[in-house]
Amino acid sequence: MLGRLNHVAIAVPDLEAAAAIYRDTLGANVSQPQALPEHGVTVVFVELPNTKVELLEPLGDDSPIAAYLQKNPSGGMHHLCYEVDDVIAARDRLQADGMRVLGDGEPKTGAHGKPVLFLHPKDFAGTLVELEQV
């Protein structure tokens, strides 16, 4: 079911400062910030040869990232994103196995313009998992 690792997401309290570390200190190619109101975040992607790092900053007080940063003020690893061929088929298979899909269970459009779903961390060894259709 799983394809390649699409990205590792890191929640940060200051997106500009975090992007500067990757761009200026580590010499990485960093995308322009992209606001995703449906997800309550602003993101940038750090491009690597084999995957990406997504830096997430809260967009508004109701952002799930704001709640995460209250518990982890310095930021930290937020989720892993895996590619799947068919996000609906993956959802249906996982739900049939008793796994929980967050939200209303319907895919939303992610930062790459593709359908995404999030899976409950308690079902995946304490890690929030995002599935992105490729």
Query: Which tens digit of pLDDT belongs to each residue from 72-90?
Result: 999 999 999 999 999 999 9
Mean of per-residue pLDDT scores for the chain = 96
In order of start, what are the domains of the chain with their CATH numbers?
A: 5-133 (3.10.180.10)
Q: Among all chains, which residue has been given the structure tokens 């895919």? A: 107
Q: What share of the chain is helix, strand, coil (3-state, %, to 5)?
A: 25, 35, 40
Phi, psi of 103 (to 5 degrees): 70, -150
Has residue 68 got a pLDDT over 90? yes
Q: Which H or E run contains 87?
A: helix 87-96
Cα diameter, the chain: 46
Q: What is the rounded average pLDDT of the residues 12-28?
A: 98
* Mean pLDDT of all residues in 49-63: 95
5-9, 22-26, 58-62, 94-98: segment of lowest average pLDDT: 58-62
Region 93-111: what's the mean pLDDT?
Answer: 97
Pairing status of strand 34-36 against strand 41-47: antiparallel
Active site residues: 130
| pLDDT score of 61 | 83
In this prediction the pTM is 0.94
Q: Rounded to the nearest 5°, which phi and psi values hold at 28?
A: -85, 155
Q: Which residues pair with 44 in a beta bridge?
A: 55
- What 3-state class would DSSP assign to 27? coil
